[in-house]
Chains A and B, each alone.
Chain A
Amino acid sequence: MKGTYGGKRREGNGNSNNGVNRNPNANIHSGAFYETEETTKTFNDRLNYLLATSISTEATVTVTTGVKYSGVLAACNPEGPNGVDVVLKFPKVVDKGFATSSIDQLTSHLKENLVIKGEDVAELQLHGVNFSGEGKVDKEAKEENEQKAEAKVEFKTSSKPAAPTTERKIKSEFKTDTDISGANTVIKERELEKWVPDDHETFDLNESLEDNTASWNQFAVNEEKFGITSTFDEHLYTTRINKNDPNYSHRVKEADRIAKEIESQGASGNVHLAEERGIIVDDSGVDEEDKYSGVDRRGDELLAALKLNAKSNPPKAKKYVPPTLRSQPHNADPAIISSKAAVIEPQATHSKEHKNHEPAAEGGHSHSRKKNQLDELKEFSEKFKVPYDMPEEVKAMLKKNNENSPKASQAALKVNPSLPPKPTSTPPTNASSSSSSKGARAGRDLTPSANKVELRKPPTRMSQGHTPVHSPSSGRHTNISRRRNISQGSFFGSKGPLASKKDFSKNFNMFIKGKEAFEQSNAVAKSKSNAASVFVIEKPYFTAPTWFSNVEQSYKTLFPDEHTAIQRSQMKMQQRSMSAMSSPGSPHMMGVPGMMMGMPMGPNGSPNPYMMAPSANAGMYMPFQPPAFYPPVMQMMPMGDERGGSGTPPPQNPGSPLGGPSFMNAGLGGPMPPFNYSAAVPFQPVMGSRSFRQGFQNQSYQNHHNRHRAHDR
């Protein structure tokens, strides 16, 4: 292999294809063209590999004066500023080139090592590089220009035995374990002995571990039998329970209460849960699959929801964060805010000293900063949705606080950025573990309370952003603890359920209602002193077989005739395409300005699944692109630059086959980034197939070639 490593080395080198070259005589011209970082890297890797493999083999270096040195390549530095620095051992002069002095003269200057700086190296020729352990790579070099290289590479398979330094003959075939270990091939058989239990080890065959009533202390036995003293201390693994604490009994009670509460929640509907809790359930009629394995399909929505949740949530639009606050971690993570709020709350309610300190600390911050925090929280509360009402106890607590010292509690509710976000550090540890856990619970429930106002107006909220979709798996436990406190969510809006008291037994009954109506009119009539006679139930034969109508027209006349319908349809088509024009950014014509159609507008900026469609579409090609073989094409692709950066491919298209080919075509004419689709679409049908890859590769070849030629001229 031969290359020129001048100052332009970094610009890349196109002869990367020789690894798979099926055409040994092809001359590949590579010019100085722009490479993406990744491509360059792969080339560099190859070069590094080549150089590393060539160490200790023979090399010929031509320096800029034309003198050729050959010797054993001792070292080289590909990171050099002006090319590859080379160290040759036992150098000798092969060709004096244009040098005025003779070869002998030159040779006399040489010592054991010859260091050639990168800027002096005109050409580096490596002989007999062995890439694989078999065969050698023969390279010829021919200098043409300092900035161009032309390589002719030939593989001569196994024309030369492998490096003679290895003692063992390298087997080319697969080696077994025995080969590697070099073990003796003679296999001895061992005498098999019958196992006889020791006397003390006799046991009944039917005995099981549980049958042994004697207590078993593994540590004691271990010590007795083997003299091993265990250093095991269970407190290394658990929290030590302070049984001497004065509040111990109280806390045990509290823990019991909580445990009971959880256990008493009933496992309604979930047979498996009930079974785990040891409740005997009547599970007849439920087969094993339903019980343990099958998904409860009462509502296939569960499955769909799982699917939904499995999909990575679309990245949220970045919201603006004031520069002063950017360093603070909680700005990024709502969970931290809530946990902070959770931490601070108990302080406000449980420890009076803390409460007094808090406002002071808070007071230190500037007003604007506070306001920012507040806005932050507000914004968060708008995004963060918990469909629960505030628990009664918290409500009461809040109220109390507000009455007592509105400022203090308000401040406590706010995030205090000076506090560490670690919740455990605040309450005094062992002494009040139960109270702190209680506080934390209350605190967690408090978060939704901040959204109280928000929760009361669901319709507006529903139309923007995401609905609170819970992942059934993750939500389960938290829900259990929360559930107790929830009275009603916001499904009904502020009214809450109000019906249910209406009478079904009297209404919808034509006899009773008829009589009521009759009595009413009768009462009116009576006042006019011409009382009607008895109430008679309407005879069924009064009812005509047709429904009430107010026009002598058929329902069909309410529909437009063919002409009108087609006209209107064309109008609609125009409207749709016009609205599509107005939003060139989205090829799927979303984000249509509402006024055009007189229809509600899509939520702005909310991660609409539709919005993702185009990028997802583009993303579909990604996995199929052989990374090293398409540089010229990639250059044209606008998304080439994001390719190296983000390691996460865009999520798969959420709606399965967004548009058949016909829609693709429909989209083609539309106003979209010109290279996105037009370049990509034709490849789609054959994507991933072998023939496609080859075609693709050839094409890139072609591209190289043509490019180079163009450059030549």
Chain B
Amino acid sequence: MPVKSLESFLFERGLVGTYPIESLKNASLGIDVDHYVSRLLTSKREQYLDAIGGFPTSLKLYLESDLQVFREYDITPVFVFSGSPVANQLEASGHYAAAAPEAAAAAINASNSGPMSSSATSTTRTAKEAILAQRHKGWTQWNNMHANNQSSYIDQPIPPSEPFKYSIPLDTKRFQSDLIDYFISLDIRFQVAPYSSWFQLTYLLQNEYIDAIYGPTELLMLSSVEKFILGMEFPNKEYRFVDRTRVLSEINCSSEEFIDICMTVGNDLQPYTLSPLRMYPVQQLFEVALEMVLSSGTDFYAYQLMNPIKNESVQSVGRYQKGISALKFMPVLKENGKVELYSPAERGEDRTTNSAGSPYSSASSTASLETIPNDVHDVVAQRLPHEYYFYQSIGLVSGKLMDAITTGVYPDEPPLDGGSSESYRKLVKSSVELFKNKEINLLTQPINRYYQIKPIKHVKWFAPDDAVTLANRVTPPIFDRINHLVVKTSQPEREFSLEQFLSMFNESEDLTKSFVSDKVLFPNSVPLKEKLSTPFDLLATAFVRFLSLLGFFDFDSSQKILKVTSWGRILLDMTKIGVDSEFIEPIFVLLMFLKTGVLSLREETVPATTSALSKATLRSYSKESSYILVLTRILSIFRLQQKPSNYHGPIDRKTLVFRDHLDYVKENLNDLFEVALVSSLAAGEFDRLSLDNTGWQKKIVAAMPFKLSTPSTVMAMIWQFYLQKFLHNGNSKSDALNLIASTFNTSKVVPNLDEELKRSLNFVRQFGQVLGALSKANLCEKQDYDLVAEALEFIEKAFADERV
């Protein structure tokens, strides 16, 4: 989040310079991913992303063309993601209450969030609230439209009219793993900062890892950054940069006054707009504040102190102080691999410039820039071991759990569809037992005792007051229960994949013999060669522990006997019944979802969501409608191979609701696997010196399952509308195909549509088989399987039909 309204101010005042991209030739360019993505995905782009979920595919399109330009000029990009949020950011993003107040406010105020209302309300509402409100508004509009078109709508789906995203940049965290995966595949350097990405970039710049920063306007607050790039205009082969000295002198502001203004209008480190600026429109905040400073020498800190409304005063003074302090004491990942505070003195920011008239440094005589107070953790966040930050920096862990243990709150925010369904809420509640307790225990076990006794609460947006304290302390610790499970193949070239893993298990005669180790690996006394040495062994070990935690294996740690449970049997048999390797992960997610038992495949969610199918279809083809329902549900996890595109087409909330269930399961699976891996690493079971950063990224991070975001609902909708058309148009396949081609623009987006349809059909078939096995083992309801079997028949017929 940039300094509010500063950027447009700079452009209006002509304080932004231009150079051709050539001038960056051979340079290393540090890119702030948040800033960069906000540049690429402007408000016009990917407007329906939140209605279909998944990765914004058009981002890849822009990335590709930009990377091409970089290659042309031998520019080495270094992408830096932001890491954990600092205290102010946590507060503003609704972390502590799982965005519950924001969600509530959004539901109430959704109507006035439109593009036209740029009035005072938008200054005070947080970004989170605006996002939720826009989604809410989008769905309301869509529901209305759907209801209005009931009479006329038969088989031609209607595209939505209201965007689901407005002006607030997408949260890059949502698809950070996808981007990391993409960067790894292209050998592009990236780094996840421990906290603020632009601080990390400043560090990289100062230590000459990069030559220039492409970052947000906050960089103007750092006097160690002389100038930086604000925007790239690739079509013009130009870039726009800002020179700090020049800006400050032209607006006639001292550094302190500038920071004072930034902290009041709102910026990355202090996202709130403080009074007296709250009444001004967002677009003019900076200008107004500057005018106040220039005309009357306003000191905003003093203003906060003098604010007659005491509540607000205390709150804003606190936020202001945290913002300033975060600017002074921001931790960065340093060259030596340690995460340490990057103080102004270390940044080489001149002490004298900061002392005069500064709102914070001239306070007491003892205070100098070298002073580091003892409660920085209140400003930033509590500190974690360097090792954890390292795993975060290479993308091995997403950081969500790390934030949970530092803040003491594990929030579950509303999903894309709003999360009103009972089953989703049940799923969220049950995740505590299934995943979260284990995760927290595994993660805190290797680190400072403080974290082991620190209560960590699970906060849900739908019941913020009903926080569940996660069972952090378990005896024996989870890790002790699983650390005898070890996979040692010592095949250095073997790459980890679920298929490899399953076939390895299937090859094993006796699981206990093969995968249970008599002694534990972690003590330092164990010689290196007896430890895990290859990435495959590391990942497979983590995975078998992960499966035993999930109940696919039964491991008796006292007896040291490993057995397959009936669920595990189904999983292991997947390779036997010929499930394609690419489908193992999605089917595993579906299995896990069924295992939670919150909703069966045929069951309607409560409260029910309107289907995108027409009334006519539902009425005259009720049987087929239920087929379509299960099919779309299964297909909602199918990953469509498509070209990058900016999606404009129909949406379906019902499918999205189910997809959100799967997404939630998948995310938790990912967290649990990450934690199983980290616990193994942190205990020292793996030779951590055997890999350099590139090796870590390529061999471990890239091979980890569940990393990529859950696919969008597009494939499910393609089938949904295909089948609906097929029903209404006298079972004509070509008509249905034509409809799909025109509504989804498949000729461009999915060039090999036919193949994709076949592939997805195959997926449904294979899932049908797995479900059959499940039903045989009495692990799912028989009706479920029957319905899927019938639906499969129906879809096969609909697809094979060639009667024109």
Q: Are A656 and B692 CB-contacts (below 8 A) given A305-B11, A483-B20, A513-B335? A: no
Nearest B residue to A385 via CB reads B17
Residues of B within 8 A of A544 (CB): 383, 448, 450
> A601 in the interface, Cβ–Cβ < 8 Å?
yes
For A284, A512, A667, the residue with the greatest tally of chain B CB atoms inside 10 Å of its CB is A284
What residue of chain A has the Cβ atom nearest to residue B60's Cβ?
A285
Interface string of A497-537 (1 = CB under 8 A from B): 11110101111111111110100000000000000000011
- Would you call B243 an interface residue if the criterion is a C-beta within 8 Å of the partner chain's C-beta atoms? yes
- Given that A544-B383, A555-B376 are known contacts, is A268 also in contact with B287, CB under 8 Å in the complex? no
Interface centre among A266, A305, A466 (most CB of B within 10 A): A305
CB distance from A625 to the nearest CB of B (A): 27
| Contact call B359/A469, Cβ cutoff below 8 A | no
Contact of B26 (CB < 8 Å), options: A300, A488, A551, A561: A488
Hey, which chain A residues are within 8 Å of B648, CB to CB? Answer: 287
In the assembled complex, B19 has its CB within 8 A of some CB on chain A: yes
Q: Is B363 an interface residue (CB 8 A)?
A: yes
**B196 in contact (CB, < 8 A):** no
State whether the Cβ of B390 lies closer than 8 Å to any Cβ in chain A.
yes
B residues 442-483 near A (Cβ < 8 Å) are 446-451
Closest to B21 in A: A483
Does any Cβ of B come within 8 Å of A598's Cβ?
Answer: yes
Within 8 A of A (CB), among B99-156: none
Question: Does A470 contact B18, Cβ atoms closer than 8 Å?
Answer: yes
Which chain B residues lie closer than 8 Å to A296 at the CB level?
A: 233-235
- Residues in chain B near residue A102, CB distance under 8 A: none
B294 at the interface (CB under 8 A from A): yes
Interface residues on A, range: 35 or more
Choose from A266, A387, A497 the contact partner of B72 (Cβ within 8 Å): A266
B236–A302 CB distance below 8 A: yes
Which chain B residue has the least Cβ–Cβ distance from A565? B302
Question: Is B42's CB within 8 Å of the partner chain A?
Answer: yes
Q: B335 touching A507 by the CB < 8 A rule?
A: yes
Query: Contact check: which of A549, A564, A598, A608 meets B372 at CB < 8 Å?
Result: A549
A67 within 8 A of B: no
Nearest-neighbor residue (CB-CB) of B386 within chain A: A510
Residues of A within 8 A of B284 (CB): 656-657
Decide if the interface of chain B is mainly helix, strand, loop or mixed: mixed
| B306 with A566: CB separation less than 8 A | yes
**Contacting pair B693 A488 (CB below 8 A):** no
B672 in the interface (beta carbon within 8 A): no
Q: Which residue of B lies closest to A473 (CB)?
A: B236
Contacts A510-B387, A511-B337, A540-B446; A388 near B302 (Cβ below 8 A): no
B42 to A, closest residue via Cβ: A297
Chain B residues contacting A597 (CB-CB under 8 Å) are 254, 357
Given known A509-B337, A666-B296, contact A467–B23 (CB-CB < 8 A): no
Q: Is the CB of B386 within 8 A of A508?
A: no
Which of A284, A536, A566, A572 interacts with B305 by CB under 8 Å?
A566
Residues in A79-122 with C-beta less than 8 Å from chain B: none
Q: How far, in whole Å, are A556 and B328 apart by their CA atoms in the complex?
A: 13
Give the segment of A33-41, A222-230, A574-582 that binds chain B: A574-582
B28 within 8 A of A: yes
Q: Determine whether A59 belongs to the interface, using a CB cutoff of 8 Å to chain B.
A: no
Cβ–Cβ < 8 Å partners of A491 in chain B: 19, 23-24, 212, 227, 241
Report yes or no: A304 in contact with B374, Cβ–Cβ below 8 A: no
Chain B 359-393 near chain A by CB (<8 Å), digits 1 or 0: 11111101100111111111110111111101001
The CA-CA distance from A469 to B239 in the complex, in Å, is 10
Partner of A603, one of B234, B250, B382: B250
Task: Give the contact stretch, choosing among B62-70, B511-519, B651-659, B710-718.
Answer: B62-70
Q: Which residues of A contact B386 (CB under 8 A)?
A: 510, 538, 540, 543
Please tell me which stretch of A131-139, A156-164, A588-596, A700-708 contacts chain B, meaning at least 4 of its Cβ atoms lie within 8 angstroms of it. Answer: A588-596
Interface: B600 (CB within 8 A):
no
* Contact of B301 with A270 in the complex, beta carbons under 8 Å: no
Partner of A270, one of B235, B249, B340, B751: B235
B248 x A600 contact (CB < 8 A): yes
In the complex, what residues of B have CB within 8 A of residue A387's CB? Answer: 18-20, 23
Contacting pair B240 A305 (CB below 8 A): yes
Find A553's partner among B22, B234, B238, B371 (CB 8 Å cutoff). B371
Contact between chains at B331 and A285 (CB < 8 Å): no
**For A284, what are the chain B residues with a Cβ–Cβ distance below 8 Å?**
643-645, 748-749, 751
B31 interfacial by beta-carbon distance below 8 Å: no
Within the complex, the shortest CB–CB distance from B347 to chain A, in Å, comes to 16
List chain A residues, Cβ under 8 A from B287: 655-656
Q: Do B337 and A486 have beta carbons less than 8 Å apart?
A: no
B237→A566 contact, CB < 8 A: no
User: Are A459 and B237 neighbours in the complex by a CB distance under 8 Å?
Assistant: no
The secondary structure that dominates the A interface is loop
Binds A, one of B90-98, B203-211, B604-612: B203-211
* Docked CA distance A496–B595 (Å): 59
Determine which residue in B245, B385, B524 has the highest number of CB atoms from chain A within 10 A of its CB, and name it. B385
**Residue in contact with B325 in the complex, picked from A287, A539, A555, A572, CB distance below 8 Å:** A555
Beyond A559-B360, A656-B284, whether A268 also contacts B337 by CB under 8 A is no
B765 within 8 A of A: no
Q: How far is the CA of A680 from the CA of B363 in the complex (A)?
A: 44
Q: Choose among A475, A549, A660 the residue with the greatest number of B CB atoms under 10 Å from its CB.
A: A549
Closest to B694 in A: A505
Cα distance A472–B239 in the bound complex, in angstroms: 11
- Report the Cα distance A7→B57, complex, angstroms: 84
Instruction: Answer whether residue B14 sits at the interface, using C-beta atoms and an 8 A cutoff.
Output: yes
Q: Residue A397 at the B interface, CB < 8 A?
A: no
Interchain CB contact (< 8 A) of A663 among B25, B232, B295, B382: B295
Question: Counting CB contacts under 8 A, is B39 at the interface?
Answer: yes
Q: A547-B380, A603-B250, A610-B252 are in contact. Are A504 and B231 (CB under 8 A)?
A: no
* Closest Cβ–Cβ distance, residue A257 to chain B (whole Å): 21
- With CB as the reference atom, state the residue of chain A lying closest to B689: A511
A552 touches B (CB below 8 Å): yes
A497 engages B337 (CB within 8 Å)? no
Cα separation A196 to B205 with both chains bound (whole Å): 81
CB distance from B332 to the nearest CB of A (A): 10
Contact between B13 and A654, CB atoms less than 8 A apart: yes
What string of 1s and 0s marks CB contacts (under 8 Å) between A474-505 and chain B? Answer: 01100100010011111110001111101011
Q: A301-B11, A499-B208, A555-B378 are in contact. Are A543 and B363 (CB under 8 A)?
A: no
- Choose from B24, B209, B245, B337 the contact partner of A502 (Cβ within 8 Å): B209
B777 at the interface (CB under 8 A from A): no
**B336: CB under 8 A from chain A?**
yes
**A545, B24: Cβ atoms under 8 Å?**
no
Task: Flag if A559 contacts B359 (CB, 8 Å).
Answer: yes
Tell me the bound Cα distance from A356 to B371 in angstroms: 71
Question: Are the CB atoms of A553 and B692 closer together than 8 Å?
Answer: no
Q: Which of A285, A568, A666 contacts B295 (CB 8 A)?
A: A666
Looking at the assembled complex, report how far the CB atom of A525 sits from the nearest CB atom of chain B, in whole angstroms.
Answer: 19
Contacts of B688 in A (CB 8 A): 511, 537
Give min CB distance, B770 to chain A, whole Å: 34
The reply to whether A559 and B321 form a contact with Cβ atoms under 8 Å apart is yes
Q: How far is the CB of A558 from chain B (nearest CB, A)?
A: 5
Contact with B along A589-619 (1 / 0, CB 8 A): 1101000011111110000111000000000
Q: Contact string, A656-668, partner B, CB cutoff 8 A, digits 1/0?
A: 1111100100110
Binding site for B on A (CB under 8 A): 266, 268-270, 282-287, 290, 294, 296-302, 304-305, 307-308, 387-388, 459, 462-463, 466-470, 472, 475-476, 479, 483, 486-492, 496-500, 502, 504-515, 517, 536-562, 564-566, 568-569, 571-577, 580, 588-590, 592, 597-603, 608-610, 654-660, 663, 666-667
10 pairs, A vs B, C-beta closer than 8 Å: A285-B57, A298-B42, A466-B14, A470-B236, A489-B23, A492-B211, A510-B337, A566-B306, A654-B13, A655-B12
Extra contacts, 14 of them, besides A302-B236, A497-B26 (Cβ < 8 A), are A388-B23, A489-B22, A491-B212, A497-B212, A509-B390, A559-B324, A559-B360, A568-B299, A572-B357, A576-B295, A589-B294, A599-B254, A602-B250, A654-B13
